[in-house]
């Protein structure tokens, strides 16, 4: 997906909010904004939003003391989500279609996001997910579940692209469910190579216990998405050979939506531009099969 002009005001908002989370002084905040503004005229809009946002987040790291301004936030997200693990498992255990519920929960966990919305009360939001009884998808949601379960059945190697810290616990629920149903599947769980916003790193995957059911790998980059041109050779090999890709979050959708692979994008719609691009509404949860996308969004729901 290319960058829309509407993304530009949003990049500035993200850079400003990020500079505050990085505890930059007001003078430093202005300097970061100025540096980012100087780069804008040099950026072609056929780059995807994560490619451009990456430039802003790189500037933030330069003022952050530990190079990872969102570290404490990520740890908190992991703790909050881990506290919910038992209840999430129970939700799957008591559901009629375990895999379907696990998919729903994995997408609902995408509510944790500091790029699109940073004033989030993680604990409150996550609790809300658990109390909302099957209200995640409605008749307007894009939910290519039939394609998802069919593709999953056939796939040998699955590449699961992580999004945010904390959300990893919700991914774990889905991955454990897949492994329960298909123990022979080989699942790679890809995190970011360097800190960017609150995106999950190796330590988050480990803290959330995903390393017990999947092989955690790094994509080798610091882009808030999967910008293939910047990813490591090792990652690209797995990306190329995987039979199915499960991609979490808007950032991964924005950077991979034009790819010709079998990708299932699982995310919550958090900005008007992605809402427009996917013909969805803000706040919708989406399970989008890229082969159904681009002019022929098929809204197939849960299969019987």
Q: What residues numbered 157-216 form the site for a copy of itself, per CB under 8 A?
A: none
- Using the Cα atoms of residue 104, residue 105, residue 108 and residue 109 in order, give the sign of their dihedral: negative
Asked if residue 282 binds a copy of itself (CB under 8 A), the reply is: no
Beta carbons of 198 and 204 less than 8 angstroms apart: no
Q: In whole angstroms, what is the distance from residue 197 CA to residue 60 CA?
A: 9
Q: What residues contact residue 271 under an 8 Å CB cut-off, 6+ apart?
A: 10, 116, 250, 282
**Closer CB to a copy of itself, residue 21 or residue 205?**
21
Q: How far is the CB of 118 from a copy of itself (least distance, A)?
A: 13
# binding residues, a copy of itself (CB under 8 A): 19
Residues 27-66, mask of contacts with a copy of itself (x by CB under 8 A): --xx--xxx-xx-xx---x---------------------
Extract the tokens encoding 120. 């989030």
Q: How far is the CB of 74 from a copy of itself (least distance, A)?
A: 24
Beta carbons of 27 and 71 less than 8 angstroms apart: no
Q: How far is the CB of 109 from a copy of itself (least distance, A)?
A: 28
Q: How far is the CB of 142 from a copy of itself (least distance, A)?
A: 25
Helix 85-93 to helix 71-83 angle (10° resolution) is: 40
Q: Write the Ramachandran bin of 280: left for phi over 0, alpha for psi from -120 to 50, otherwise beta.
A: beta
- The residue written with tokens 């007001």 in the block is 26
Window contacting a copy of itself (CB under 8 A); options: 8-16, 149-157, 201-209, 281-289: 8-16
Asked if residue 229 binds a copy of itself (CB under 8 A), the reply is: no
Q: Which helix (H) or strand (E) holds 108?
A: helix 98-108
**Closer CB to a copy of itself, residue 46 or residue 124?**
46
**Closer CB to a copy of itself, residue 41 or residue 183?**
41
Asked if residue 12 binds a copy of itself (CB under 8 A), the reply is: yes
Neighbours of 213 (CB within 10 A): 16
**Closer CB to a copy of itself, residue 44 or residue 183?**
44
Window contacting a copy of itself (CB under 8 A); options: 24-32, 183-191, 227-235, 286-294: 24-32
Asked if residue 13 binds a copy of itself (CB under 8 A), the reply is: yes
């Amino acid at each position: 997906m290319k960058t829309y002009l509407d993304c530009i005001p949003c990049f500035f908002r993200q850079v400003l909010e990020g500079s505050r989370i990085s505890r930059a002084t007001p003078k430093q905040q202005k300097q970061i904004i100025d540096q980012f503004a100087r780069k804008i005229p040099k950026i072609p809009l056929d780059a995807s939003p994560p490619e451009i946002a990456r430039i802003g987040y790189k500037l933030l790291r330069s003022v952050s003391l530990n190079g990872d301004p969102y570290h404490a936030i990520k740890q908190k997200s992991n703790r909050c989500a881990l506290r919910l693990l038992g209840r999430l498992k129970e939700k799957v255990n008591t559901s009629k279609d375990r895999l379907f519920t696990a998919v729903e929960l994995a997408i609902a966990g995408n509510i944790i996001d500091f790029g699109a919305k940073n004033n989030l009360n993680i604990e409150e939001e996550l609790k809300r997910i658990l109390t909302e009884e099957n209200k995640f998808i409605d008749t307007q949601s894009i939910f290519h579940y039939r394609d998802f379960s069919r593709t999953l059945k056939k796939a040998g190697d699955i590449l699961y692209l992580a999004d945010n810290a904390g959300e990893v616990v919700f991914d774990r629920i889905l991955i454990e469910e897949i492994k329960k149903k298909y123990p022979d599947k080989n699942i790679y769980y890809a995190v970011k190579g360097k800190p960017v916003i609150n995106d999950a790193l190796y330590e988050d995957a480990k803290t959330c216990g995903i390393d017990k059911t999947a092989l955690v790998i790094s994509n080798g980059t610091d882009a808030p998405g999967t910008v293939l041109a910047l990813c490591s050779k090792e990652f690209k090999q797995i990306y190329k050979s995987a039979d199915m890709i499960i991609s979490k979050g808007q950032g991964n959708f924005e950077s991979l939506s034009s790819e010709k692979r079998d990708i299932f994008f699982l995310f919550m719609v958090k900005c008007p531009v992605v809402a427009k691009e996917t013909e969805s509404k803000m706040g919708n949860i989406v399970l989008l099969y890229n082969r159904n996308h681009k002019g022929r969004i098929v809204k197939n729901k849960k299969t019987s």
